[in-house]
Amino acid sequence: MYKLETIISLAKRRGFVFQSSEIYGGLNGCWDYGPLGVELLLKIKDSWWKSMTFRDDIEGVDASILMHPRTWDASGHTKQFSDPMIDNKVSKARFRADNLIEEHIIKLRSKNKNDEADTIEQKLANIKENNDYLTIILDHGIKDPVSGTTEWTEVRNFNLMFKTFIGPLEEASSVVYLRPESAQGIFVNFKNIAETARQKVPFGIAQIGKAFRNEINTKNFLFRTREFEQMEMQYFVKPGAELDWFDYWKKQRWQWYIDLGMDESKMRWKNHDKLAHYANHAVDIEFEFPFGWGEIEGIHSRTDFDLRNHQEFSGKKMEYVDAVNNERYLPFVVETSGGVSRGLMAFLCNAYSEEHVTDDNGKTDVRTVLRFSPKLAPITAAVFPLVNKDGMPELAQSVYQDLQKSMKVQYDSSGAIGRRYRRQDEIGTPFCITIDGESLTENTVTIRERDSMKQERISIDKIKNYINDKIY
């Protein structure tokens, strides 16, 4: 397992991810995606979008980030979307009380104090009110990692929604929120979409979009940020059919990660012991990050909680009318909710590898490779002229220009060929194409595959097919 710092450093050095507003010292919990990062994000989203909408029963939507504030009353976010927050009086450091306790449990386990860890875990599962967090923290002498003291404040609730104002007046009646999840944009459009797309239950609505949460502690790179993107799909089913669909979507979503090269041994299911107020069943897909296991996607059976509440708060009927069976009902919902940026981080960690290689002169070296699936690699192929003379650059340019019509390609003519391969390995480019002397007479190139480093000679007019065959 590699250190998170190693991956963050590569991500910055090669232009995947930068700190937001870095020249001003950065903005906590916000990140910018550089040239390679944005390609990777787009490929993840494209693959998800196609897997969801290239079928008969799922439609897409792109709802606005700002929504009517009543939306958040109906969804429960105004009242319930808060985390328990605690401050240390000496260092003034602020923590999520539950996270502070969870980290203490991890520390206890690393010291083999499993009995105490089990006891705390048990107490954590039975929390009823904020005071219970404080009791655990004080009873178990949990210290502030900054000051080393146990001088804690009370535990207070902190609502995670970002508040702003719509229009020129900053008054209570103009408060709006940046959406904390994209799902509600789907629910409020349920009738619009069912009717205009003439869909019949069961059917789903998919959306990719930004969400904002004023997280108390942001950490672990892209894992917990204040601005992030979600890819969510709400599948509307007849009440009673939800658990079958739940199993179906669990399988689909697991397989999606596998098809994109995720190592199955780094994935696991986590059942929710404590269900959210809206759910009757919920599981997470977790990934083993360098800092431990963390959720990358949740699959939730949300009952008719959302449609029922929107119906009540808006006064508009949200029922589905089944004309064939002459029935009306509020559909139940099975949701798949994944983070694009958390997913990107998981794919990056999954792809990272270092290996020791020996060159022809017996010299050993470390080869850093991002083993992305060719479907996700930010750059699909790189084209090199072996030397910058004898007509090779001209032929290489024409191969490059032609490939660029259908895929993301890089041209590199600087330095020894071995170094050019390494530069591409480090960003995960699966195919490197070299134009050499033989190319000029035979119309062929060598194509080198990233993981095996094997080279094949193929004719120029076969390159596209060769690559497409490996991708699809």
| Unique residue bearing structure tokens 């954590």 | 124
Site string for ligand ATP, 323-362 (x = CB under 6 A): --------------xxx-xx--------------------
Q: Does 288 sit near ligand ATP (CB under 6 A)?
A: no
Phi and psi, residue 284, nearest 5°:
-115, 150
Give the residue with the Cβ less far from ligand ATP, 40 or 201: 40
Using the contact rule CB under 6 A, the part of the chain among 292-300, 378-386, 396-404, 452-460 near ligand ATP is 292-300
Q: Which two tokens stand for residue 98?
A: 């539950």
For residues 446 and 381, what is the distance between their CA atoms, to the nearest angstrom? 12
CB of 13 to ligand ATP, least distance (A): 23
The distance from CA 436 to its chain's CA centroid, rounded to whole angstroms, is: 41
Cβ count near 345 (within 10 Å): 27
CB of 460 to ligand ATP, least distance (A): 43
Q: Measuring CA to CA, which residue among 203, 157, 209, 221 is closest to residue 184?
A: 209
Give the residue with the Cβ less far from ligand ATP, 230 or 444: 230
Give the residue with the Cβ less far from ligand ATP, 37 or 298: 298
The correct pick among 297, 304, 425, 436 for binding ligand ATP (CB under 6 A) is: 297
Q: Which two tokens stand for residue 229?
A: 């993107």
| Adjacent-strand bridge partners of 204 | 58, 235
Q: Does 263 sit near ligand ATP (CB under 6 A)?
A: no
Q: Does 209 sit near ligand ATP (CB under 6 A)?
A: no
Give the residue with the Cβ less far from ligand ATP, 215 or 263: 215
Give the residue with the Cβ less far from ligand ATP, 125 or 324: 125
The count of chain residues that interact with ligand ATP, using the rule CB under 6 A, is: 16
Q: Does 184 sit near ligand ATP (CB under 6 A)?
A: no
Give the residue with the Cβ less far from ligand ATP, 292 or 437: 292
Measuring CA to CA, how many Å separate 183 from each of 95, 135, 265, 333, 348?
Answer: 27, 35, 30, 11, 26
Q: Which helix (H) or strand (E) holds 456?
A: strand 455-459
For residues 115 and 367, what is the distance between their CA atoms, to the nearest angstrom? 43
Using the contact rule CB under 6 A, the part of the chain among 150-158, 250-258, 295-303, 319-327 near ligand ATP is 295-303
Phi and psi, residue 306, nearest 5°:
-70, -50
Contact 47/257 with Cβ under 8 angstroms?
Answer: no
Give the residue with the Cβ less far from ligand ATP, 199 or 225: 225
Q: Which helix (H) or strand (E) holds 395?
A: helix 392-404
CB of 95 to ligand ATP, least distance (A): 14
Q: Does 224 sit near ligand ATP (CB under 6 A)?
A: yes
Alpha-helical regions (H) of 352-391: none
Using the contact rule CB under 6 A, the part of the chain among 13-21, 223-231, 236-244, 352-360 near ligand ATP is 223-231
Contact 273/291 with Cβ under 8 angstroms?
Answer: no
Q: Does 225 sit near ligand ATP (CB under 6 A)?
A: yes
Residue 17 C-beta-side C-alpha neighbours within 13 Å: 20
CB of 80 to ligand ATP, least distance (A): 12
Residues that bind ligand ATP (CB under 6 A): 181, 213, 215, 224-225, 228, 230, 295-298, 337-339, 341-342
